């Protein structure tokens, strides 16, 4: 590899999650998942989780973009773009409809077998997230979600089944999507979908959140160990939402506050990559009088199950100000975050900062010296077709150009090891935070709308051809 070039085996591709694309929520023996009881929202974050399925509500995930029946057509389009890999998740409730059964659902397993075969037909490597903001609804209603230790065993059983079944088809895995979003436990959407727990109803919500996390850390580590035993070639990563927190100013208080605030991000990668709880969190628990219940073997499980790489999503950075702490100012869920005057903001208030990607890659690589995989990045926008019906999404191209440029700098100039780049929502899908179709990310447009109208027809946006050229040139032509 010449110094300025990306490695030949760089994994270009795209990313989605089962519940945001598949639809087919009650087909092939699938059980109800937490995502299936999540109604659509309006412009903003106000999605509602109901106790059951109520007539008259729109549950966008029930249909999503019907990848369940369109996957062959969609994968052919991914192949046309030259994808080397495709990141999606397995819907746990397709495999174990209720989550606590002893035997898996064969029809669900077969669906992923067929989908993976279709990918492999084009030499596209599946990159699989085991848990992407969903779990069987039965585990929520009957067990109380991840607060219950039994869910650890159910998750290990599910993971073992799929890792064995697909051991010759899937090499790249990730355990929990954006596990650090659990930290946004005050936002019911994130708290509930990540864990199945309504933290606001807990006596001590923050302690409950750490208890949930402990269970997920243990489950993740156990699955990493198990996966390596099933196939030593497996690459099993963790996955964090990387929103770097900058000090708002060079006031030492801001600098110190930003460093402390970054623990919110690092805690997750620290435990996954080092296999033990860092001292800053142990001190914090002690200060707050938290009692996190752990079993005697847990420490060893964490040590034995360090992840192979860090998968990260990167959409934005935030700035934090020590003085704003406690004022209620919170962008992206972090107390003390304030608008950064040097960056622009998307329509949804996400602060666009390509340099922040290079910065993030560097801080993570310096900390662990382990490969990184950018498994989400992209620009959510309301796409409007021109007179000929074409979407000229130059704004999306500009966003990705700038981010890929910074990724390349991190790799070729700084020497950071990045395995691949899979932009989020490579095909339009249901937006997680808003529950809308209209917040789109895709290279491929899907004719489906917030009022539930649309034909599901797929068409290529301008970015489709642009990304095809990026991949063909291995990132030389941006
Ligand atoms: C990440 C999630 C994805 C995805 C993305 C974009 O947090 O892992 O599931 O949806 O963000 O967010 P949104 O769809 O809300 O714009």
pLDDT band at 264 (very low <50, low <70, confident <90, very high): confident
> pLDDT value at position 331?
54
> pLDDT value at position 349?
84
> pLDDT value at position 45?
56
What does 178-226 look like in DSSP terms, one character per residue? TGGGGG-TTSHHHHHHHHS--GGGSSSHHHHHHHHHHHHHHHHHHHHHH
> pLDDT value at position 40?
87
> pLDDT value at position 188?
78
Establish whether residue 178 lines the binding site of ligand 1, counting it when its CB lies within 6 angstroms of any ligand atom.
yes
> pLDDT value at position 145?
97
Establish whether residue 41 lines the binding site of ligand 1, counting it when its CB lies within 6 angstroms of any ligand atom.
no
Q: How far is the CA of 89 from the centre of ligand 1 (A)?
A: 13
Closest CA to 419 of 203, 253, 171: 171
Q: How far is the CA of 430 from the centre of ligand 1 (A)?
A: 9
| pLDDT of 2 higher than 80 | no
Q: What is the pLDDT of residues 458-473, one digit of tens each?
A: 999 999 999 999 999 9
Report the distance separating Cα 278 and Cα 206, nearest Å.
18
How does the average pLDDT of the chain come out, rounded?
94
Lowest mean pLDDT among 81-85, 195-199, 344-348: 344-348
Establish whether residue 174 lines the binding site of ligand 1, counting it when its CB lies within 6 angstroms of any ligand atom.
no
For tokens 């509930």, the residue is 192
Share of residues in the chain with pLDDT > 70 (%): 96
> pLDDT value at position 187?
80
Q: Give the ligand 1 atom nearest the CA of 430.
A: 14
* Alpha carbon nearest to ligand 1 atom 2, residue: 432
| pLDDT of 371 higher than 70 | yes
Q: How far is the CA of 199 from the centre of ligand 1 (A)?
A: 21
Establish whether residue 17 lines the binding site of ligand 1, counting it when its CB lies within 6 angstroms of any ligand atom.
yes
Q: Which of 160, 376, 405, 476 is catalytic?
A: 376
Determine how many CB atoms are found less than 10 A away from the CB of residue 225: 17
> pLDDT value at position 41?
76
DSSP 32: P
Report the distance separating Cα 380 and Cα 3, nearest Å.
33
Active site residue 376: yes
Determine how many CB atoms are found less than 10 A away from the CB of residue 292: 17
> pLDDT value at position 327?
63
Q: How far is the CA of 380 from the centre of ligand 1 (A)?
A: 9
pLDDT band at 1 (very low <50, low <70, confident <90, very high): low
Ranges of each domain in the chain: 11-472
Q: What is the mean pLDDT of residues 262-287?
A: 96
What does 237-281 look like in DSSP terms, one character per residue? EEEEE---EEESSS-HHHHHHHHHHHHHHHHHHHHHHHSS--HHH
- Provide the token pair at 188: 């019911």
Establish whether residue 445 lines the binding site of ligand 1, counting it when its CB lies within 6 angstroms of any ligand atom.
no
Q: How far is the CA of 431 from the centre of ligand 1 (A)?
A: 6
Assess if CATH 3.20.20.80 describes domain 11-472: yes
Share of residues in the chain with pLDDT > 90 (%): 85
CA distances, 13 to each of 40, 79, 85, 423 (Å): 28, 9, 5, 7
Establish whether residue 243 lines the binding site of ligand 1, counting it when its CB lies within 6 angstroms of any ligand atom.
no
């Amino acid at each position: 590899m010449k110094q300025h070039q990306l490695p030949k085996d760089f994994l270009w591709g795209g990313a989605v999650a089962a519940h945001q694309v598949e639809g087919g929520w009650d087909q092939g023996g699938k059980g109800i998942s937490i995502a299936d009881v999540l109604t659509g929202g309006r412009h903003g974050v106000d999605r509602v989780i109901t106790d059951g399925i109520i007539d008259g509500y729109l549950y966008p995930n029930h249909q999503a973009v019907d990848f369940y029946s369109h996957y062959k057509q969609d994968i052919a389009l991914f192949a046309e773009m030259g994808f080397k890999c495709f990141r999606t998740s397995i819907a746990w409730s397709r495999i174990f409809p209720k989550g606590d059964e002893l035997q898996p659902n064969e029809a669900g397993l077969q669906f992923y077998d067929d989908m993976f075969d279709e990918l492999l037909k084009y030499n596209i490597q599946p990159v699989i997230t085991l848990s992407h903001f969903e779990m069987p609804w039965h585990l929520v209603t009957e067990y109380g979600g991840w607060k219950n230790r039994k869910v650890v065993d159910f998750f290990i059983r599910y993971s073992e089944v799929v890792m064995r079944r697909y051991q010759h088809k899937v090499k790249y895995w990730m355990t929990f999507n954006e596990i650090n979003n659990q930290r946004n436990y005050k936002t019911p959407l994130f708290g509930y979908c990540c864990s199945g727990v309504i933290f606001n109803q807990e006596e001590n919500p923050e302690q409950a959140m750490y208890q949930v996390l402990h269970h997920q850390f243990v489950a993740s580590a156990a699955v990493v160990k198990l996966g390596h035993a099933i196939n030593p070639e497996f690459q099993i990563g963790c996955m964090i939402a990387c929103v770097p927190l900058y000090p708002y100013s060079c006031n030492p208080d801001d600098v110190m506050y930003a460093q402390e605030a970054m623990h919110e991000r690092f805690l997750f990668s620290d435990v996954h990559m080092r296999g033990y709880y860092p001292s800053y969190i142990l001190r914090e628990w002690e200060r707050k009088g938290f009692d996190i219940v752990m079993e005697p073997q847990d420490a060893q499980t964490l040590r034995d199950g360090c992840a192979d790489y860090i998968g990260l999503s990167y959409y934005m950075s935030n700035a934090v100000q020590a003085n704003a702490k406690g004022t209620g100012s919170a962008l992206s869920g972090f107390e003390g975050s304030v608008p950064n005057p040097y960056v622009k903001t998307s329509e949804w208030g996400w602060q666009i900062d390509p340099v922040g990607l290079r910065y993030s890659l560097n801080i993570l690589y310096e900390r662990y010296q382990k490969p990184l995989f950018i498994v989400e990045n992209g620009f959510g926008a309301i796409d409007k077709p021109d007179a000929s019906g074409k979407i000229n999404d130059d704004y999306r191209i500009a966003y990705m150009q700038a981010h890929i440029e910074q990724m390349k700098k991190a790799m070729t100039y700084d020497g950071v090891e990045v395995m691949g780049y899979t932009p989020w929502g490579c095909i339009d899908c249901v937006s997680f935070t808003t529950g809308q179709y209209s917040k789109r990310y895709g290279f491929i447009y899907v004719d489906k709308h917030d009022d539930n109208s649309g034909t599901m027809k797929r068409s290529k946006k301008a970015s489709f051809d642009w990304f095809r050229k990026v991949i063909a040139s291995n990132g030389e032509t941006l």
